[in-house]
Chains A and B, each alone.
Chain A
Amino acid sequence: MSTFSTFDIAGSALSAQSLRLNLTASNLANMHDVAGTADGVYKARQAMFRAATDPFGSALAGVDVLGVTESTAPAIERYDPGNPQANSDGLVYGSNVNAMEEMANMISASRSYQSNLEVINTAKELLLRTLSLGQV
């Protein structure tokens, strides 16, 4: 019996959701980055999730982080000749981070983190009670 795999499953989700929270923090921190070229500026980053499959074939496993992708939304062009990073035309490029999207993403990640934590707590309590089965 593998009651312990509940911890693995929920644990993988915890780590995936915390990566998502970290990326949101990074996106929000770099929201006001500027650069002289459209390619050089910070791009919003998102995590890609995939359902993990257990190597032993029992189709029950947690979640895998496939990788981190950069948003392909265009950088925001701004005329700011006084900026030391402005190019010869006086343009600077701001990052394409959308604060609203990031906030929504953050709430979703934190809700998911909470529900997985609850799963772990309940499983732990059940397992501890099972361990004391038959004891007076």
Chain B
Amino acid sequence: MDSILGIHEAALTFRAQRMEVIAANLANADTPHYQARDVEFSSVLAGAASAVKMSTTDARHLSTAPRGAQSELKYRIPHQPSLDGNTVETDLELARYAENAVSYQSSLLFASNRISTLRMALTGARS
């Protein structure tokens, strides 16, 4: 059942997590000493795309499961740092938020098309 939505499921999770990270940046746009953070897409993609998983038969075995996005949080390098130590650039964050929302919608569209394809195969008729 995992493969029905393919990578889009992981992509949706990543986009939802990134939405939270950017929302936290925007919420703290006026907080002194707050350091803006972001999740790196390539690292999460690499983790999600590695389909080959080692089987673990013992609790002490290492796992190759993709690490959660939380551990991939990195600090942003600001273009214009402010005097109070805050590195949030509201306009850029809003742009990234919008970009992330569009990517979320496209993943959603891919997933939704996958479901209608399956439904068409099951019913034999275009719904």
Contacts and interface: CB of A to CB of B under 8 A. Distances in A.
| Chain B binds chain A | yes
B24 A130 contact: no
Interface in B16-53: 16, 19-24, 26-32, 34
B31 A115 contact: no
Contacts of A55: none
A112 B94 contact: no
A2 interface: yes
Contacts of A16: 27, 30
Contacts of B64: none
B77 interface: no
A108 B86 CA distance: 15
A122 B101 contact: yes
A60 B24 contact: yes
Given A1-B13, A133-B108, A134-B115, A9 B30 contact: no
B5 to A, nearest CB: 9
Interface residues of A, number: 38
A61 interface: yes
The prevalent SS among residues of B at the interface is helix
B31 A50 contact: yes
A119 B105 CA distance: 15
A49 B86 CA distance: 12
Contacts of B24: 9, 51, 60-62
A119 B16 contact: no
A102 B12 CA distance: 42
Contacts of B98: 122
A112 B70 contact: no
B127 interface: yes
A13 B27 contact: yes
A122 B97 contact: yes
A12 interface: yes
Interface string B101-127: 100110010011001100100000001
Contacts of A50: 31
A118 B104 CA distance: 16
A60 B20 contact: yes
Interface string A1-13: 1110110011011
Contact of A115 (B32, B73, B90, B108): B90
Interface of A: 1-3, 5-6, 9-10, 12-13, 16-17, 20, 49-51, 58-63, 108-109, 111-112, 115-116, 118-119, 122-123, 125-126, 129-130, 133-134, 136
